[in-house]
Amino acid sequence: MLNAFPVGVVLLSTDLAKSKTFYADKLQLSVIDEDDSAITYGSGQTRLTVTASTTGSKDEQTKASWQVTDLRAELDELATRGVKPEDYDTDELKTVDGIADQGKVWVAYILDPDGNALGIEQPKDEPDAEQGNAEQGNPEQGNSEQGNPEQGNA
């Protein structure tokens, strides 16, 4: 059955070279396969394929997301490679330092060169977070090492 297998994500790009710079260099995803029409990257047990398109994607909704255990650390690492989270201030979504509280997760959004929105989520019920692990911190209660990822390091 399908529920026993990983699912892959397919995104559209009007410029595969720019996409490759973003996904391979800035996000450091490994290239699994590449030809003139598509590049497939590995991420954990899943694959993300970027295909050549003459129109790209006009939809602003999130196309893919990663679940991480330390959102602030991931954003800090991405910042060293020039990737910054988007800031939002709407009725539906408000970020503080690039991070939004979305109920069960803390989430940040980044955009690829084609405007595909990509989420990076930290579930609030991560075992390390609940235990107040000094390396990760509890995003709901905070601690001296990391604290709430919306507020940055305490």
User: What average pLDDT does this structure show over 61-76?
Assistant: 96
Overall number of domains in the chain: 2
The reported pLDDT for the residue numbered 102 is 95
- What pLDDT shows up at residue 5? 87
Average predicted confidence (pLDDT) for the chain = 85
Rg (CA), the chain: 16
Domain boundary pick from 56, 76, 101: 56
Instruction: Residue 125: count other Cβ atoms within 10 Å of its Cβ.
Output: 9
Residue 122 has pLDDT above 80, yes or no: yes
pTM metric for this prediction: 0.80
Q: For residues 28 and 96, state if they share a domain.
A: no
Q: Which one, of 60, 79, 76, lies nearest residue 119 by Cα?
A: 60
Predicted local confidence at residue 151, as pLDDT: 56
